[in-house]
Structures are given as structure tokens and as C-alpha cells.
Amino acid sequence: MDPECAQLLPALCAVLVDPRQPVADDTCLEKLLDWFKTVTEGDIFFPVGSLNLTPCKKKVWELLGEERSSRGTPGAVPLVTPGLGRPHRVQCRAAAGAPLPGGAAVPCAESPGPEFWGPLLLTPPGRNLRSPGKLLPVSSGAVDTIFSLQGDSSLFVASAASQLLVHVLALSMQGGAEGQPCLPGGDWPACAQRIMDHVEESLCSAATPKVTQALNVLTTTFGRCQSPWTEALWVRLSPRVACLLERDPIPAAHSFVDLLLCVARSPVFSSSDGSLWETVVRALSCLGPTHMGPLALGILKLEHCPQALRTQAFQVLLQPLACVLKATVQAPGPPGLLDGTADDATTVDTLLASKSSCAGLLCRTLAHLEELQPLPQRPSPWPQASLLGATVTVLRLCDGSAAPASSVGGHLCGTLAGCVRVQRAALDFLGTLSQGTGPQELVTQALAVLLECLESPGSSPTVLKKAFQATLRWLLSSPKTPGCSDLGPLIPQFLRELFPVLQKRLCHPCWEVRDSALEFLTQLSRHWGGQADFRCALLASEVPELALQLLQDPESYVRASAVTAMGQLSSQGLHAPTSPEHAEARQSLFPELLHILSVDSEGFPRRAVMQVFTEWLRDGHADAARDMEQFVATVLQVASRDLDWEVRAQGLELALVFLGQTLGPPRTHCPYAVALPEVAPAQPLTEALRALCHVGLFDFAFCALFDCDRPVAQKSCDLLLFLRDKIASYSSLREARGGPNTASAEATLPRWRAGEQAQPPGDQEPEAVLAMLRSLDLEGLRSTLAESSDHVEKSPQSLLQDMLATGGFLQGDEADCY
Amino acid sequence: MCGAGFGHFEWLAGGGAGQDVGRSCILVSIAGKNVMLDCGMHMGFNDDRRFPDFSYITQNGRLTDFLDCVIISHFHLDHCGALPYFSEMVGYDGPIYMTHPTQAICPILLEDYRKIAVDKKGEANFFTSQMIKDCMKKVVAVHLHQTVQVDDELEIKAYYAGHVLGAAMFQIKVGSESVVYTGDYNMTPDRHLGAAWIDKCRPNLLITESTYATTIRDSKRCRERDFLKKVHETVERGGKVLIPVFALGRAQELCILLETFWERMNLKVPIYFSTGLTEKANHYYKLFIPWTNQKIRKTFVQRNMFEFKHIKAFDRAFADNPGPMVVFATPGMLHAGQSLQIFRKWAGNEKNMVIMPGYCVQGTVGHKILSGQRKLEMEGRQVLEVKMQVEYMSFSAHADAKGIMQLVGQAEPESVLLVHGEAKKMEFLKQKIEQELRVSCYMPANGETVTLPTSPSIPVGISLGLLKREMAQGLLPEAKKPRLLHGTLIMKDSNFRLVSSEQALKELGLAEHQLRFTCRVHLHDTRKEQETALRVYSHLKSVLKDHCVQHLPDGSVTVESVLLQAAAPSEDPGTKVLLVSWTYQDEELGSFLTSLLKKGLPQAPS
């Protein structure tokens, strides 16, 4: 702890314990607790050095639980539960007649206070407390309180109570005061016994919430505790769990599924135990389609499980798509999906019951299969062709072009027509399926359905976006003709059909569609810019011209995407057709983009321009290479004036690329990298420095070093350090220290610091620059800049000062929230 | 709409509006549909706590499958700040609804916040510009009063809420059940926005904000006068005034306030606004002029109120200019950027003033100076002595207690749920609503679930044939006099229809079966069966004047479809058994006749 904080803390404790003093808000109190946790390493009720924090901490806990935040729950005490992944402040309220844990307002001799709860809650499960035996006063009623809190109206409290119960169970199983771990088969400790009795009782309860609570406690236990006693626990409780399947309807089905999967995943659990798999097999046939899917997916994701079960689970997962295929396929379809999949009446019922149940089931199925597809443990053989066929059918049902083969098919046609939700899910899955191989005709089908989707006037912007994404994935994964640089046989024809559709979408009234179309164009040309088929199809279309027009789009997002797309097309000489009538359009794009950088009112297009320019410089684009110095000077001059720090930071990135090209690339700092011989700079150093001065790079970099936006200053610092390292290798210039320019450099720095430009660009002399570089403590600056700019305000000292200062001023004012 | 019709309203993670800038995020389950209302962030935290804990929404599968849609009420970050995180990092892929102005302005504020988080705090694991854009692509923009069909069962409708440009209240409806969520709203028009309005939609539940649950409206006028006076006095004595604001929102209200005052007082002192933002604000206010108040809309053609005569774009070099000036600079909590830079320059002069028009979270310079700290530690252990005057004046536009009551009165909900407020104030308002409006009121804490039972009404279509038949009976329908109508209820394709039995048989392809009820009534009568039947006929003829009573040649009597036959049991010649038989259609008449005859026949005249 800082001495400053140690000095402030007693005063804060005095303020907190004084009921007349105004208290800080909940946020401050939570932050204070966070800090206590860090300084005491999770053991907040033990003194820190000579300073005993206990009274202060107690008060914070009380305050957090006061009426102000918990509303009408006097005597409440907050619990900080680290097990949730983040600390949650919850109010522990007293159930009728139960003693309050640590309730200051309702003192109870029997109830454990923060001395009990604090360390318990702040210790991760499985970690030994100093003396857990002493901390588990079973007779005190503490556990009963937790039982009642499981049913609290607050989700946070109920969830925390369940986790706390697991915590207590784990601690009690760690051993009593003697610290001896309990062995499976032996007597359960009294506290654990009570918890298990409670769980058993809850599992038999007719009230679903009780069953849910019990199942959740068990799931958390098996998920977190991997000691042998958990297996004994399962042996004891599994019959009760299995009994739930005999009820109609099965209570808390989703918690039931979670528990089964959690037990199956537990490393402690012996996989040869047939009772678990028996229950799982039964569950797969008893549960409704809503819960069957997650269970089936969970089983298929398991590393070890009986093959027969995997087969059954996969059939369950495929069931809805199999139904769809059966309902629409006129002739027997490709083998795989329909094999062994009996018509499941429940699945058909769900598909036919209502639009939302049908859409829900299909969306879930598609999402599950999408999750399964890339996994190494996915079933083999993977019915790629059938899945592709089914997904295409689903999409055709959505766009109304599917031909029903039965009454179920007719019903599905009516239900799914225009269903955006299912369309989106199917397109996502279709995109994922592009990663697998399939017969040619199915690839054609997939591309055809995607094209229809992109073309359909009824497609919503979100559907179009997903269709573009799926199309891109299919195109980029399409097989190429071996030994040929051109695209496969299917693609050229597809591209010829695609570009007119893309043209249409570039003129769509919704900005979202125009933007998605531009993003698609950028990606496609990035990957295929060098392919003759692609170039040919693109240049034969009006796509480049339309993209160029979108540089003037009213929507800034679209302008930015148009800049990126045009930058990409231009890099590959695709920004305008080569025919003589398009000579005007083939003119350089540079002035156009520079104009956007200078005048666009929004940051996105300006940032996009800077990225394009940086890429151009890096790749030696004609516009940049023609007169590189002029190009860099012009861009830096405009970028340095920009109000958006990200544009300025990008300007420094461009400057770094230029530096690399002038002085050689940056050295690798990787200790394991093979050290390559230093590439000789393109020109002598003085000349190179003069070029850097000429383009105004130093003016820009030195101004940026004192930029009020930290990332700009950081980037500039890195750039100057790189420059200094480079120069250091030149002995002739190394000893110029103390020369006549040093004084002038030192005089210039404060002016830069104040945000003024020192000299007109290009007037800097290399010697003056070197002098300035030497006079700056760049390492020191870099370490200062590494700290966040609000590190002072968010320090513990600042928090304590703020809490102490809270009072008078805010009290008289009206509360405000924007 | 199906099922038992239980509303399920979950207050997932909200924020006390009082001394806490909260995360508004509410989960509503209505007739099997799940809707998330707002997706706000908490600006007081730098860790995960700044966003709501979405894992509480469902542990059962993906969020996209669980939620039917997300609705954003307005562009303030405590209502939309977690949206890109939710949609692009947590993975919600469903539709997001908001109004057109909110869709336009939301990304600007999110981008602004992102830049500060990345720039100032150096956070790497934060949502990116691309994520904001991808999130905005999932948005479906809605117009005011437009009924938007989310799916076949769920529909939403936006109402004007005032508060900030584009703010809306939303009605969420599934079948006959509905919920109205107000977001933040203002029931009195201000200088640039109109008052919130909703029709008498009688929702099952109204979820209303209650920030100013105990505030009285007049205090706002006083604050405005006070604000102008303080600004005026400071510039009069040659001081500079800094007003840290957020890019869009209340800043425009303050600009109009100052502009009008400058015009009236003919003041020449320059007023500046952070460069870039004035143009942006102008652009959006021009674009969405129908969302402003009547006065601005009316005068818009002659003069755009947002093209200020006295307020000019600010350049950072101006901060060092001598003489008085007023500067609106961003961000509003003095935690980074231009406002903090200017503050540092001006803090040392006691002639200057900083006016904080909104709440500041802990960990910002704004919070420090508002809590009265005058010596601020800066980087490198430098100490900045704050000699300038520090003022706090709230200018947010929320409905006061009267306004909230007015809205409840307008919408006539069955129940009210208070959110976005301080417990004490909410308690006061809750009692007021319950006592004065006789409406049950709830005020759940964060994470609490409120479950409200509703009585779903099931619409039934009536066939024209059945109606015509009823009309043919000569009885015209009357609104105030409910009438009994008999028919067959058919449930088909989730629809209910009432048709005549003949039509039902035809539609369902069923054969007709007659069902008759028979009852024996013992009569004490020594006469022959035929005579008894005749007596029964005479009696019924005299009692049932409106019915067709017939005496058939075989001796039996009929009343409509009811058939009566007299028989003599062999064991008791003094008793006759009357067999009464009727079809189920005449169930009422049959029962009546049975009970009538059980009383016996009138004495025959001697």
C-alpha cells in the first residue's frame, strides 16, 4: 500500500463509520472493496501491517447493503462473489425467521458475520482456507439462510446463493478442522450431509424452481470441483436425477441437460459408468426438440462417449433438416442425412405447430450444426452433401421457390416464406459449409441460391449482408483448376452473373446494403485482384464506376468503405476499364482521396484514406511512387491538421513506412529470429535526413510527440526511437552533441509542446533534427506514455481523496443522469 | 398469443439515476416473446462491470434464439453504450429496433466513447469502429406511430418521448397483451424538443423512468436564470466560461439558451463550440426537424434555430486569447480531450468559471472538482490549483412527478413499474400512483424479477351466416346489451371461429348425430294417459305463449323440439309418468319444462 493511501485510510474509515457524514456512491464503495481485495490478496479481514482495516471494511459492507441500494431490505449484507467471473454485489436478505448473516441492523448471536462470509466468498473453490472447520458453523443456521436465498427474487442473489452453497460444500468436503479430506464412501461431513439432503429433497419437489435450483447446484459442483468425492456424490444422487425423466413434463429440462453434460465432461467421472450414458440415452428420447438439440450437440462435443450414443445424438441433431428434406425432395435425395432417421413425430409437430416454433427449431438446429462443423470431433463421415442440400432447401423454402413433395412440405412453404430469421441462420451455416468439399452440382446449387438471395428484391439488409459473406466464403474456397492460375470452371460464369447483381446492390437505398456490397467488393478484389477471369468480369461491369461514385455517398460509413474499395481496386489497376472512353476515369485517384482527407466532415472516410495511402506507399502504388517525397509531404501536411487523433496516428504509420523505405526496415526485436544482415539504406544518411526534413516528417513527428491524444504521442515516440536507433549506426553524425544547433533545438521544443509549429515544413536542417533527437529523453517519455492518461484519477489514492471529499457539494444539488 | 398469459418482466441491470450513472437493460417476457429494452453501460467502471451481465438473460442456448428483439429508446450511453459489445462480442445476431435519429446519432456517441476508452485508457479489448458499424447494420429504424411487425405475433410501436432528439417510448404488443416502455422522457416541451405523448393504449404494464420522481418543474426555470446570470457575470468581469458537454443532446438546448440571451442582451463576447460537433449537430437537427418542437419546425424555413449567430467553431489556439469567452467543449466529464485541456489552461484564474451541466463519475476531473477538491494531482506529480469557480447545474430533461402521473393517466395501464430512479424517490411516487390513480405499482431492484398475471382475451371470428341467422330473428345487436349467441367454436390454424353447427359439420366433414336428453316426471293424475297429455298441453299452451306448443295425433305434446308423452305405470294407476325428451339445443327449455311440470298440473275446473 502506498504511504499516501495509508495516510488517507484512517480518515476515510472515520468518515465511513460516522453516520452523520455523507457516504460516497455505490460505485466508489465497490471500487474501495476492489482495492481492499488487491491490497490484502483476497483475505480482506486480516490486518495489513500495522493498520487494521476491519472496522472500515465492515462499514463498507454494511453501507453496500443499506436500504439505499437494496431497497427495503434492512440489515442486508453484500456478498462479493468472485466465482461469477466478476465481482457481484448482492444483497443477502433474511428469509422469514432465518438468521441474517452479519446483519448489523439485526444482530444475531447465532449468525456468522463478515468474518465468516468474507474469506469464504473471496476464496476460489478448491483453495484451502486457513481453518475451514472453524468457518463452517453448520448449526448456526447459515446454510439454511443460503437455502432460502436460492429462491430470492433477485437473479443475482439467487445465483450467488447457489454458488455459495457449492463453495460451502466444497470447503466442507476439504475436511474438518483436522484438514483430512473425505474419502468417497466414507461418512459425509455434517455440513455436506445437510446440503445433499437439501438437494435430494429439492430434486423430488413438485415445484420446478426447486428442481432447477438443485440441478444448478449440482452442475456448478461438477463443473468446479474435480475431487474424487464428486463421483461419490453422483453415485448417490444420480437415481434421483434419472427419476426426473419419468415426470411429464420433465421439470427444468435445460438445467437437466446442463447437468448431464457437465457430469459427462468431468474428468473425475469414470467414463465406463453405464448409468450416466443410460440416463443420457433416455433423455435423448424423452426430451422435447428444444432441449434435445443442446443435449445432442453437447454429446457430440464430448471427447469420450459411446459410439452408439454419438450416432443417436447426431440423428437427433439432424432430425429437423431431415424432415425438411423429406417434405420437399421429390426423388430420393443424396444418401446420408435421411439414412436411419425415422420420422420423428415430435419434430414434425414442432415444425408444424406455429411459425415461431418452426423458425426456432430450424435456427437452433442450423446454429448447432454450424458450431459442430469445424470441430475435430464432429461425426465422421460428415454428411456434407445432404446438409448442403437441406440448407439450400431451407433457403428455397424461405424465398418461396421450393417445391413441396408432401402436405408437410406445403405447410413448411407457407410457414417459412419470407422468414428472415431462418434465412439468416441458413446463410450462416451455408457459409460454414463452404469449408467442406461437395459434388460440383451442389456447389452450383449453393452459388445459385446465394445469387437468388442477393438478387431478390425482398431480401432485407441483414440477409443481404449474410448472403454477401456466405458468397465470399464459397468463392474463396472454391477449388481451382490444378496447375492453372485462373479460377475454376464454375466461377467465371458465376462472376458474370454476380456483377450485375452487385451493381444493383451498390445503388440500394439502404446504406447498410451499399456498405456490405462495397466490403464484399474489397475482399473479393483483395484475394482475386490478380486473377484474369475476375479482372475481366469486373472491368466489363460498371462496378468500379459505381464504387467511385460512392465516394460522394451521403452516409459516412459508405464513403469510408468506398475509399477502401477504390484504394484496393486502384492498387490492382482495376479502378476503371482500360478502354479509351474511360480514359478520364482512369486518371489518378490520389487527388480525389486527398480531397476527402482534407474536407470530409466525418472521421471514418478520412481514416480510410490514410489507410489506403499507407498501403499505397508500402506497396509502391503508382500514385505514391511517382514522386514519393511529394506524396508523403502532401499527405502528412493534411493529416497533421486533422482533428481526429486516429487520422494523425495513421499519419505517423505512413511516416514510419516512409522512414523504413528511406533508411531501411526496422530491426526485429525477436531474440529467436535469424538476424539478417542490415540492409543498406537507399541513400546516404544526410541525404535521407534531408528528404525526411523536406517532407515535413520531423515537424509532424515532433508536434505529435506532445499531442494531447496519448496514442499519437506514443506512436511518434516509437517512430523517433526507431529513427534514433537507425542514426546511431552512423558514427560521423553521432558526435555532433553540443553543436550550435542544440540550443536552437532546445528552444524549439517548448513551442512544439505548446502545439505550435516551429518552422515552416522542410526548413529543418538534419543537424538540428539530430540535436533535438539527442536532447529528448525518449525512453522516459515512452514509459510515461505507457501509463493510461487517467492513471492518476483512477489510482487508489485518488479514490480515497474523492470519497473523503464527497459531501457538502453534491448534497444540495438535484440528482442528474444526462 | 398462447399459454396462460403470464407477463414476465425482468429488470436485469439498471442504474440508480441519482448518484449513479446506470446501465438500463430490461428483459420483458410477454406471452412467450422475449424482448430486451435498452442496452446501456455504466461509465463509472473500467472493467466488465461497465456492461450488464448478459449471462443472466438465459442459460438456455444462444441469445439470438432466446431474444425476439432488442429495442433502444434513445442514444444516451446509459441506454445504448453496451450495444456493440452485446451484438458483436457477446454474439447477439437478431434485430435491434430504434428510431431513425437514434440510429443516426448512436454511432457518433459510441465512436466518441470508444475513442476515449482507447485513447485515454489504452484499452485494447474494447469494441472497434468496425464493430460499431456492424452493430448498426443490424438496426431496423422505425418511424413514430408506425406499427412494426417483428414477427407474426409480436409488434412494436414508437411514441414521441422528448428528452433528446429521437428519444421514443415503445409499446410492445403480443395479441391482446402489451407493455409500454418509456425510456427517458419529458412531459413538458423545452427550447428545442416537444413533450412526450402517448395514446390511451391501456397496456398491461407501463415501465416508466422515475429520475425526477420527486422534483418540481419550476426549479428548471430557476436553474436556467441562474445559469445565464452566472455566465453573464463572469464574462462581464472579463472571465472565461467553460461548459463541458457531450457531443449531442442537452448541449444544443444550452446553445439555444445562450444564443437567445446573447441576442436579447446584444452581447458581443464570443461563444465557441468544439469544432466538428456544431456542424454534426446542425446536420442531424436539420435532417430530423420533424422531431423538434413546434416552434422550431414553424420557423425552420425562415431561420434554422441550430445555425447560431453568436456561436462559432472553436480552435484550440483560441483558448489562449485574452478577454472573456464562453466555450462548449467535449467531453462532458472533463476526463479527456479538449474540455480537459482548456480546463487546465483556465483553472488557475479565479475570474474564470467552469459550469458542469451533468453528472460526473468517480475517476474523472469533473467528479473531483464537483466534490470540492481544489488541488488536483496531474501527471508527473504536478499539482493543478483550481482557482476558477466551479458550478454544477443539472439540465437533463426528465419528466417530473407531475409528468409521470400525467403519462400514467394518459396511457391508463393496469400496472406501473418504476425504473431508473432512486429508491426513496420511487417509493414516494409508488404510493402516489397507487393512491391517486388506483394502479398497482412495482419498483424492482436490479436483478429482480416481477411477474404479473394477465387475462388474455382471445379474439374469435364469427361467420357471416351465423350472424345473418341471428339478425333474421329480428333482434338487432345493441352495444350495451350483450346477447347470447349459439354456435360451434372451431379451432383451426391457431384461429378461433364461431360458426353455425351446419357449417361446422360441413367444414370438418362430420356426420350429424342427434343427442336427446330424457327425463321422467311423475304426475299424480287418475285420468287416462290421453287426458293427462291434453291437460299438459293446455297448461303449457297457457304458460308458454311465445313458443310453438302442439298436440300431436298420437297423443304426444311438443314444445319446439321437446317431446312429452304420458304413460301409466302398471303398479300405480293413480300416477302417470310423463316422459320429457329434448335435444341439446333446447337444453334450457327442456330443463324449464321439467321443473315446471314437477310442480304439478293446475287443478282441472270441476
Whether residue B205 is found in the same domain as residue B180: yes
Q: Which of residues 7-26 of B touch A (CB under 8 A)?
A: 10, 12, 15-22
Give whole-number Cα distances, A305 to A282, A308, A341, A383, in Å. Answer: 15, 9, 21, 20
Between residues A338 and A407, the one the model is more confident about? A407
In a domain, B475, yes or no: no
Chain centroid, CA B536 distance in Å: 65
Give whole-number Cα distances, B58 to A168, A449, A551, B66, in Å. Answer: 25, 34, 43, 7
- Residue B545 has which C-alpha cell? 305463449
Query: Cα A684–A688–A691 angle (5° rounding)?
Result: 145
Quick one: how many helices (H) and strands (E) in chain B? 17, 30
Residues of B in contact with A710 (CB under 8 A): 119-120, 122
CA distance B359 to chain A (A): 6
- Where does the pLDDT of residue A73 fall: very low under 50, low under 70, confident under 90, or very high at 90 and above? very low
In a domain, B480, yes or no: no
Which of these three, B359, B375, B390, is where a domain ends?
B390
- The overall average pLDDT reported for chain B is 86
Q: Which of residues 58-117 of A touch B (CB under 8 A)?
A: 67-72, 84-88, 90-91
Q: Which pLDDT score is estimated for A368?
A: 95
- List pLDDT tens digits, range A389-413: 899 999 999 998 888 888 888 889 9
- List pLDDT tens digits, range B406-452: 999 999 999 999 988 777 788 889 999 999 999 999 998 888 888 89
Q: Is A814 close to B367, i.e. CB distance below 8 A?
A: no
Q: Is B122 close to A465, i.e. CB distance below 8 A?
A: no
Whether residue B224 is found in the same domain as residue B210: no
Chain centroid, CA A612 distance in Å: 27
Determine contact: A615 vs chain B, CB below 8 A.
no
Determine contact: A355 vs chain B, CB below 8 A.
yes
**Under 8 Å between Cβ of A450 and A396:** no
One-letter amino acid for residue B542 of the chain:
S
Whether residue B145 is found in the same domain as residue B168: yes
Q: Is B372 close to A809, i.e. CB distance below 8 A?
A: yes
Q: Is A363 close to B64, i.e. CB distance below 8 A?
A: yes
Determine contact: A792 vs chain B, CB below 8 A.
yes
CA distance B44 to chain A (A): 7
- Among A155, A512, A790, the residue with its CB nearest the CB of B335 is A790
- List pLDDT tens digits, range A115-153: 344 444 444 433 444 344 444 444 457 788 889 889 888
Determine contact: B99 vs chain A, CB below 8 A.
no
Whether residue B358 is found in the same domain as residue B407: no
State how far the Cα of A128 lies from the Cα of A174, in Å rounded to an integer: 8
Whether residue B491 is found in the same domain as residue B536: no
Whether residue B29 is found in the same domain as residue B144: yes
Q: Is A807 close to B371, i.e. CB distance below 8 A?
A: yes
Determine contact: B377 vs chain A, CB below 8 A.
yes
% chain B with pLDDT above 90: 44
Whether residue B324 is found in the same domain as residue B205: no
Catalytic amino acids of B?
Answer: 209
Hey, which residues does B139 pair with through a beta bridge? B96
Which of these three, B367, B390, B413, is where a domain ends?
B390
Determine contact: B119 vs chain A, CB below 8 A.
yes
Which distant-in-sequence residues (6+ apart) come within 8 Å of A714 by Cβ? A782, A785, A786
- List pLDDT tens digits, range A200-233: 999 999 999 999 999 999 999 999 888 888 888 8
Residues of B in contact with A798 (CB under 8 A): 363, 368, 377
Whether residue B114 is found in the same domain as residue B170: yes
Determine contact: B133 vs chain A, CB below 8 A.
yes
- Residue B419 has which C-alpha cell? 425504473
Whether residue A466 has pLDDT greater than 60: yes
In a domain, B308, yes or no: yes
**Under 8 Å between Cβ of A591 and A548:** no
In a domain, B604, yes or no: no
CA distance A25 to chain B (A): 6
| ipTM confidence score | 0.85
Give whole-number Cα distances, B73 to A232, B15, B44, B93, B206, in Å. Answer: 52, 15, 21, 19, 14
CATH code, B568: 3.30.70
Whether residue B386 has pLDDT greater than 80: yes
- Among A153, A708, A784, the residue with its CB nearest the CB of B449 is A153
In a domain, B478, yes or no: no
Q: Which of residues 377-396 of A touch B (CB under 8 A)?
A: none
Per residue in B174-196, is it b (16+ CB within 10 Å) or e — as a string? bbebbbbbbbbbbbbbbbbbbbb
One-letter amino acid for residue B164 of the chain:
V
In a domain, B476, yes or no: no
Q: Is A88 close to B151, i.e. CB distance below 8 A?
A: no
**Under 8 Å between Cβ of A389 and A442:** yes
Determine contact: A254 vs chain B, CB below 8 A.
yes
Q: Is A816 close to B367, i.e. CB distance below 8 A?
A: no
Whether residue B311 is found in the same domain as residue B177: no
Whether residue B255 is found in the same domain as residue B366: yes
CA distance A254 to chain B (A): 6
Whether residue B227 is found in the same domain as residue B152: no
Q: Which of residues 330-349 of A touch B (CB under 8 A)?
A: none
Q: Is A24 close to B250, i.e. CB distance below 8 A?
A: no
Whether residue B503 is found in the same domain as residue B579: no
Q: What is the mean pLDDT of residues B373-396?
A: 87
Residues of A in contact with B380 (CB under 8 A): 784
For residue B367, the chain A residue with the least C-alpha distance is A802
Q: Is A818 close to B380, i.e. CB distance below 8 A?
A: no
Between residues B130 and B176, the one the model is more confident about? B130
- List pLDDT tens digits, range A47-67: 344 455 556 666 665 655 543
CATH code, B440: 3.60.15.10
State how far the Cα of A417 lies from the Cα of A407, in Å rounded to an integer: 15
Q: Is A810 close to B17, i.e. CB distance below 8 A?
A: no
Determine contact: B224 vs chain A, CB below 8 A.
no
Residues of A in contact with B448 (CB under 8 A): 153-155
Q: Is B392 close to A809, i.e. CB distance below 8 A?
A: yes
In a domain, B341, yes or no: yes
Q: Which pLDDT score is estimated for A133?
A: 42
- Among A607, A797, A806, the residue with its CB nearest the CB of B371 is A806
- List pLDDT tens digits, range B506-546: 888 889 888 888 999 988 888 888 888 999 999 999 988 88
Strand arrangement of the beta sheet that strand B325-329 belongs to: B311-314, B271-274, B325-329, B240-244, B353-356, B389-392
Q: Is A354 close to B15, i.e. CB distance below 8 A?
A: no
- The overall average pLDDT reported for chain A is 78
Determine contact: A708 vs chain B, CB below 8 A.
yes
Structural domains of chain B, count: 4
| Residue numbers of the domain that contains B259 | 218-390
Determine contact: B249 vs chain A, CB below 8 A.
yes
Q: What is the mean pLDDT of residues B145-163?
A: 95
**Under 8 Å between Cβ of B119 and B336:** yes
- Where does the pLDDT of residue B465 fall: very low under 50, low under 70, confident under 90, or very high at 90 and above? confident
State how far the Cα of A568 lies from the Cα of A527, in Å rounded to an integer: 10
CATH code, B223: 3.40.50.10890
Whether residue A813 has pLDDT greater than 50: no
For residue A797, the chain B residue with the least C-alpha distance is B377
CA distance A272 to chain B (A): 28
Q: What is the DSSP letter of A268?
A: T
CA distance A817 to chain B (A): 5
Q: Is A799 close to B246, i.e. CB distance below 8 A?
A: no
Q: Which pLDDT score is estimated for A124?
A: 40
Which distant-in-sequence residues (6+ apart) come within 8 Å of A437 by Cβ? A384, A479
- Optimal mutation site among A5, A15, A26, A27, interface B, most CBs of chain B within 10 A: A27
Q: Is A815 close to B359, i.e. CB distance below 8 A?
A: yes
Q: Is A788 close to B121, i.e. CB distance below 8 A?
A: yes
Q: Which of residues 443-502 of B touch A (CB under 8 A)?
A: 443-449, 494
- List pLDDT tens digits, range B536-576: 999 999 988 888 899 998 889 999 889 999 888 777 778 88
**Under 8 Å between Cβ of A56 and A9:** yes
Whether residue A74 has pLDDT greater than 70: no
% chain A with pLDDT above 90: 37
Residues of A in contact with B275 (CB under 8 A): 643
In a domain, B481, yes or no: no
Residues of B in contact with A797 (CB under 8 A): 377
State how far the Cα of B13 lies from the Cα of B37, in Å rounded to an integer: 11
